[in-house]
Amino acid sequence: MPIRTEPMTVNVGPQHPSTHGVFRLRITFDGEEIVEVEPVFGYLHRGTEKLAEERNYVQIVTLTDRLDYVSSMINNQAYCLAVEKLLGVEPPPRAKYMRTIAAELQRVASHLMGIGFFLQDLGTLGTPLMYCFRTREKILDLFEMLCGARITVSYMRPGGVLCEAPPDFWPALDTFLAEFPSEFGEIEQLVLENEIVMVRTRGVSTLPLDLAINSSVSGPVLRASGLGWDWRKMDPYDAYGDVEFDVPVATGGDNYDRFWVRMQEVHQSIRIVHQCIQQIEPGPVRLELPLVLRPKPGAEAYGRVEASKGELAFYLISDGGVSPYRCKIRSPSLINLTVTEHLLVGWKLADMIVTLGSLDINMGEVDR
């Protein structure tokens, strides 16, 4: 005999660990079933876009680190591409390869965090997450060798990169690449065909391709729904036009497919790094640009990259001064969150936690 229940509205977050401490969901339940969802943003608003309009073009690099702070190299890359378009310059070939190596290592590190915390939200109690942290720490060691920083790196600069890699960077990178297959293989063996993972994620919170396209979602979330769209292929930048890699695509658009796509992309990133090491040639790593950049008045540029979470872009307008007249950031985490209601309604609270993990959001770039 069914039990009559009254709808109840509950706040999940902003203090909840699965909402990253700064994301609030007002959810109406009928028993265990979610019947209405209202996402609430703004608890981490730092005014990055307006701050950028008060700093010179090089100083803004440090602000980009703090957007998706587990993917700071790629944030640097998107911004530097926009500034270079604004100036009408192109970095040296070696700088392009250094950027591509750093960006793909950063993609691996970011996906490892996405995978690890997704599994943590499933209740794996730390083991896969610690495996992911173990490998990510080695990537952060490489970043520290490049620029002295591990998280907020500010390594890429308009016109190239901060500096040449030290001599011991390349042997350390080779060692990491040699150890990576066995370490990542342990994670794959542990979870890819794990019965509990599959039961909890397959067929849960599906995102149809037409809705994904109409909502402008991008990155692994879009590719999990069946569209192989990747800006590294569609509009190559830096050294991506000179390397070969595949774009992993799934068709179900559920929680498992979003997780699976990220697992496969890690392999492709390592493949790209191998090719860059083979192809990179000696040469300068940065253009000789003025210390204070002044693009032409009225110049505007849109620089975009395929970030770890989707399309990340910077739109800049110059008035001839040392700071951009306007800076607008297109952040994938914000756009990908627009499908939250569709993904959650009809499912239960336990499914909601896993679904949020499958989106791999970072609130640092949501509340800009």
- How high does pLDDT run on average in the chain? 92
The 8-class DSSP code of residue 164 comes to: P
pLDDT over threshold 80, residue 16: no
The 8-class DSSP code of residue 118 comes to: H
Instruction: List pLDDT tens digits, range 254-298.
Output: 999 999 999 999 999 999 999 999 999 999 999 999 989 999 999
| Angle in degrees, CA 46, 52, 58, rounded to 5 | 130
Q: How many residues does the chain have?
A: 368
Tokens coding 276? 């860059």
Average pLDDT in the 55-62 region? 95
Please provide residue 331's backbone torsions phi and psi, each rounded to the nearest 5 degrees. Answer: -100, 130
Band (pLDDT 50/70/90 cuts) for residue 21 is: confident
Tell me the pairing of strands 156-157 and 33-40.
unpaired
| Angle in degrees, CA 15, 19, 22, rounded to 5 | 55
Specify the CATH number of the domain 46-359: 1.10.645.10
Rounded to 10°, the helix 169-191/93-121 angle is: 30
Instruction: List pLDDT tens digits, range 30-56.
Output: 888 999 999 888 888 888 999 999 999
pLDDT over threshold 70, residue 355: yes
Contact in structure between 222 and 208 (CB atoms under 8 Å): no
Tokens coding 198? 């599959």
Average pLDDT in the 129-135 region? 93
pLDDT over threshold 90, residue 364: no
pLDDT over threshold 90, residue 7: no
In whole angstroms, what is the distance from residue 63 CA to residue 300 CA?
20
In whole angstroms, what is the distance from residue 45 CA to residue 108 CA?
27
Instruction: List pLDDT tens digits, range 193-244.
Output: 889 899 999 999 999 999 999 999 999 999 999 999 999 999 999 999 999 9
Average pLDDT in the 94-117 region? 96
What pTM value is reported for the model? 0.94
